[in-house]
Structure 1
Amino acid sequence: MSCTPNGLINFISPGFGGRTSDITIIENCNFLETLEPGTFVLADRGFKHVEQVLAQNGIKLLRPPSVAAGSKLSKEEVRQT
């Protein structure tokens, strides 16, 4: 399922089994076909391995910055969240 930043649902995929990887879902749910090159996709930190698949289709992945143990976010990273 995909939704816009203001909460409107804009895509619902067919169901996939619980062990299906994010990459397999992205490649097989027809979501990429709904996006134009240059589109930005917002995702949480869990979507670590789909960036390359999106980039191959001219789509950019935006994820919140990650914090390593014992470190703090920069002012810019805080602004992005």
Structure 2
Amino acid sequence: MRTDLVKLDMALIRNVHEDAGRHAIIRGVALMCADLGMKLIAEGVESREELESLQAMGIDLFQGYLLARPAFQALPSVDWPG
């Protein structure tokens, strides 16, 4: 079974910029997904450092409080860091 999208859990994302082990795991998953033509989405991105670290690994889909707060039956406004 193949999928088009793989979601990285927020427990793996948390402080990835400070944890070499998490960084290595995510980098490996990112390479594997790229080879298989799958997109990655990182959930629970809460800091600019996490975002920048993930972007450097080639991930370009994100969810998390850094970008927008959840909203019920609405599209939240995006608070893009910048």
Q: Which TM-score band (shorter chain)? A: 0.3 to 0.5
- Give the number of the structure whose residues are more often helix, by fraction: 2
TM-score (norm 1): 0.42
TM-score (norm 2): 0.42
Q: Which structure has the higher relative contact order (CA within 8 Å, separation 6+)? A: 2
- Asked which structure has the greater CA Rg, the reply is 1
